[in-house]
Amino acid sequence: PDNQKIRLWYQYYPTMFSSLLFRRMGNSLRPSLRDYSRKQAPQLMSTPAGVGASYSAFKLTRSSSTDTPVDFEVKELQDDAPGIVVFAFNRPEVKNALGRNLVAQMESAIISARNSRDTRVVILRSNVPGVFCAGADLKERKTMKEEEVGPAVARGRQAMTDLSELPVPVIAAIDGVALGGGLEIALACDMRIMANNAKVGLVETRLAIIPGAGGTQRLPRLVGIARAKELIFCAKVLSGKEAQDIGLAEYAVEQNEAGDAAYHRAVEIAREIANKGPVAIKQAKKSNQHWSSDRFVYSTKG
């Protein structure tokens, strides 16, 4: 049965197959990924509470670090509605490109949110005006050794899967450009709120590569297979309004002078969710995700 599942995974989820293979075959095939994780995320590996650290402990660990740049900020919104946590890209010098340090910090934030009993909604936004996320840091990747590239790509892909599997709703607030891996992160969220002047697209084919972090699987679920193929094959870039028209965004809002209109709309929706029953919200998400989960395996069983 396990071999059959692997074959089905490979047939329906080719971009996710390598991640599954790592898990199936055990640690013997992933020493470089394990070592890489220890080097790049020391704050997670050395935390006394480990992966069970509370959200407050995570904030203390992050704020006390002085030698590592904060590429991925986390804060709890001080609001009447409880449990709204904001994740924010914070790497302006490279338009929030997904470098190793950013991914490590994002992993730590996801673990903390998953293990926090207080978190009810997560908003993913950018602190950089006009940019959500420009995708993978290809300049950094050029400096990697050949044996480091595969584990780094797999780690970024896994981080997006972990984001999609958070038990609480995740809302992407896109107030600027989200291309390639930047859009793939947004696709891993439960909802996407865009400014009408945002620019989004899976443009990897321009570089003779394909979306490698789930975009080929998640995009068709939202816009349909034929439309997804057109967008990927042609590397099309859409405005926020065009994204809303095809179902890629739930809302496209008029941008304001501060450049954060999508974020403010996301906060409004987060407040509505946070005031509902938290257990019911988690179970509703779990039920909705059953058919579209990245780990869903097609079966003939009822």
Catalytic residues: 136, 181, 184, 204
Q: How many whole angstroms separate alpha carbon 290 and alpha carbon 301? A: 15
> Which stretch of DSSP H or E encloses residue 42?
helix 42-45
Beta bridge partners of 123: 86, 171
Helical pair 17-25 and 146-164, crossing angle rounded to 10 deg? 100
Cβ count within 10 A of residue 94? 17
Identify whether the C-beta of residue 201 lies closer than 8 Å to the C-beta of residue 238: yes
How would you class 18 by CB atoms within 10 Å of its CB: exposed for 0-12, middle for 13-18, buried for 19 or more?
middle
User: Strand order in 84-89's β-sheet?
Assistant: 72-76, 84-89, 121-126, 170-174, 191-195, 251-253
d(CA 259, CA 241): 16
Instruction: Give the pairing of strands 170-174 and 191-195.
Output: parallel
List of residues 6+ apart from 26 with CB closer than 8 A: none
